[in-house]
Each structure stands twice: as C-alpha cells, then as structure tokens.
Amino acid sequence: MPRSPDQRNGAELAELVADGVRMAPHWPVPHTPPAATATSWDIAGVRVPDHSARLLAGMSDYGD
C-alpha cells in the first residue's frame, strides 16, 4: 500500500535526522565565545545592489 505524503515526509525527516546524527562527529564545534551582536551602527555603510534588494523584497519571509 502506498504511503501518504505525511508518512513519506515523516520517513524522510527521520532519515535526515539520522544522517545528521551520524555525521555530527565529523564537524566538531570549537569552544569559542559567541560573537557580539552587530548593532545598526556597526553595519552602517553596507551597500546592496538594487537588483539584489528587489530580489529580496520579492521573497516571502520564509524563503522561496
């Protein structure tokens, strides 16, 4: 019997989680303090090309 889309998605998610757990030891995280959060003053002067700004403005909040 074919599985429903929800069952397939659940199985795919389980496989993805298992893959992540299996691969995690290959990429150890260095124990460094987190970087300070940038303020708007810190990023003043950053220029974004018009075509990039239009592309981002046209995207949904959660990506396309």
Query: Where does the pLDDT of residue 6 fall: very low under 50, low under 70, confident under 90, or very high at 90 and above?
Result: low
Which amino acid, one-letter code, is at 33? Answer: P
pLDDT digits (tens, 9 = 90+) for 18-56: 999 999 888 887 888 878 887 877 777 778 889 888 888
Alpha carbons 34 and 24: distance in angstroms, whole number? 20
Query: Per the structure block, which two tokens stand in for 42?
Result: 């810190």
The answer to whether the CB of 11 falls within 8 A of the CB of 3 is yes
Secondary structure (DSSP) of 6-23: HHHHHHHHHHHHHHHHHH
Among 3, 2, 1, 25, residue whose Cα is nearest residue 14: 3
